[in-house]
Amino acid sequence: MSQQDWMLMHRVAAGDEEAVGELYDRFGPLIYKVAWQFHPSHAEAEDAVQEIFVRLWKTADRFDPRRAKLVTWVMLIARRHLIDRLRRSSVRPSLIPLEGEPPPSGPDPDPGAPAQTTEFNTRIRKRLDELPELQRTVIERAYLQGYTLREISEQLEAPLGTIKSALSRGLARLRERAASDRAI
């Protein structure tokens, strides 16, 4: 598969429309979910997805199948782009109010998808609430709001190593929890 993925990305780098279509079919929906997480509005998320695919085309020749699987690489490019976009707009998504913080001040979710927003918040809140407080806070800030680990370390006045460990363990627990939910 990695050889096929490498060939696919070389075709994408060459601007092959069919290859870009194949890349979209494999990862477009997943990228859209992540984009919506950062920009909870259909218009913003769709615009971000289009930008991400342009970025994937520009960087396709950097894909190294020995270093990562294609999904890892694609989602890394997507997340980096979304974090850059977020920092440029200087508005962080506040889907979930943090401990001791005022209610969300970010952009309102798409009025066309209130049910999805509520369901999403409820599901995420439930999963995050099961984590120890530090892990939950660090995941919210790093994974959902795009803060760097150094920024979080300063915000929480905690050593960088502690922040990294909390984030790593929190993500692992979320993944384990999701796997057990799927098994039920």
Q: Of residues 112-171, which lie at the interface with another protein (CB under 8 A)?
A: 113, 116-117, 119-120, 124, 127-128, 142-144, 148-150, 164-165, 167-168, 171
Burial track 2-32 (b if 16+ CB lie within 10 A, e otherwise): eeebeebbebbbeebeebbeebeeebeeebb
Q: Indicate the Cα dihedral angle 168, 100, 112, 24, nearest 10°.
A: -20
Shortest Cβ 124–another protein spacing (Å): 6
Q: Of residues 89-108, which lie at the interface with another protein (CB under 8 A)?
A: none
Q: Is 48 in the site for another protein (CB under 8 A)?
A: no
Long-range CB contacts (within 8 A, 24+) of 118-121: 120/95, 121/95, 121/96
Torsion sign over Cα 107, 111, 113, 116: positive
Q: Which residue ranges make up the site for another protein (CB under 8 A)?
A: 10, 15, 17, 20-21, 24-25, 28-30, 32-34, 36-37, 40, 42, 45-46, 49-51, 53-54, 57-58, 61-62, 66-69, 71-72, 74-76, 79-80, 83, 113, 116-117, 119-120, 124, 127-128, 142-144, 148-150, 164-165, 167-168, 171-172, 174-175, 177-178, 181
